[in-house]
Amino acid sequence: MEVRASSKGQILVPALFILPTLVLFVYLVFETAKISREKIRHQFALDTAVFAEIANYSDLANRLAYINGPFPQRVFCEVLAKIKVGKTGSEVSVYDLFYQNGAFPQVEGANAFTCDNAPVGRTWNIRFSEEARSGINAAGPAIPPLELLTDDDANKNLIPYNGRFFPDGTCNKDEGIACPLFFLYTQIYQLLGEVADGQIQVFERLTSDHAFYKRAYWLNTGLNVLALLGSMDFPSLSPRMHFVDSINFAGVQLDRDVFQPFHIVGPEGGNALFNEETGNQSEVFQLATVPELASGSPFRFEVQEVWEAPSVYFPVDLNSLARARLGEKLFVHTGVRLSGGQVWPDPTPKYQVQLLP
């Protein structure tokens, strides 16, 4: 009689080992995915919140760069390039006179005929005349007095001061040429100063408590904004406005003297911004700077935010484990770089935000 061993049921032996292992593997994959999903959610929330917040920084830098350079050049080009003074056949544009005297910045090499050309290159070389106003083009500018129209300008080009007969030295924005040009200049730069001041106030209000960061993070995670610590990692910017407190200009005033038919005159005391009768000293905006961005090098920093890992099937507390082994809580982080532009000198409104790994 032949006896054979039965092979039935032998598959159950390895199955007793493999099936529990597969179940554990599935649980491990599921729990790992749950933790990874939570970590990715916080990382995405952090990237979104940081970008929303730092966009306020780039907006301010770009807007101040426009106010420092492209805006005044464009405005004065539109207003002054077609105004000619001087004798017939040797006329000169008031735009060129103002720039030569350091009244406003322009792209290097521009003039009344090319002032409306768009700047080119990675950096826009827009500056005041260094010969007329030394030090104003520095990263930390010194604002020297401004000679809007010199005695030589008035003498060569016979620029009327106020259109009246000597010795009436009163200045009116509607009479002559020199006086209206002074009022026009101050009006334009006062408007630019108001725009710059408004932009700075908006920036300070938006970034004082980093509301954009907190609300963007809350919208993506639902966490209490009071528990967010990453807002403390944002560095501050300290924009500054610079003013000139002395502006002088000259013009010719007619006289009945046949031997000397005109005289060179200017504001009383040589400063149109100082009232000798009242003692009031006024100022006119010239440019704005941001010391933290003065070098033109990238502005970098890192933001970290703490997050809590969810509970898992296995009896492992990842939050306690992180504190025990790493000495700190779990956190996500992102690097930020603000670069590509410059506020002053060479105002170039090309700032962009980059998130770094």
Can you point out the beta strands (E) in 261-298?
Answer: 262-265, 284-289
Question: How confident is the model over 293-302, as pLDDT tens digits?
Answer: 987 778 888 8
Our CA angle for 176, 156, 115, nearest 5°, is 75
d(Cα 76, Cα 56) in Å, to the nearest integer?
A: 29
- What tokens were used for 102? 């350091």
Residue 165: the pLDDT is: 54
d(Cα 186, Cα 271) in Å, to the nearest integer?
A: 13
Question: How confident is the model over 211-250, as pLDDT tens digits?
Answer: 888 888 888 887 776 666 766 788 889 999 999 999 999 8
Q: What pTM was computed for the model?
A: 0.83
Place of tokens 């700190």: 328
- What tokens were used for 193? 């100063």
Q: What is the SS3 assignment for 84? A: strand
Q: Please say if the pLDDT value at position 76 is more than 80.
A: yes
Bond prior to 345 in cis (omega within 30° of 0): yes
Residue type, 265: V
Q: Where are the domains of the chain?
A: 29-356
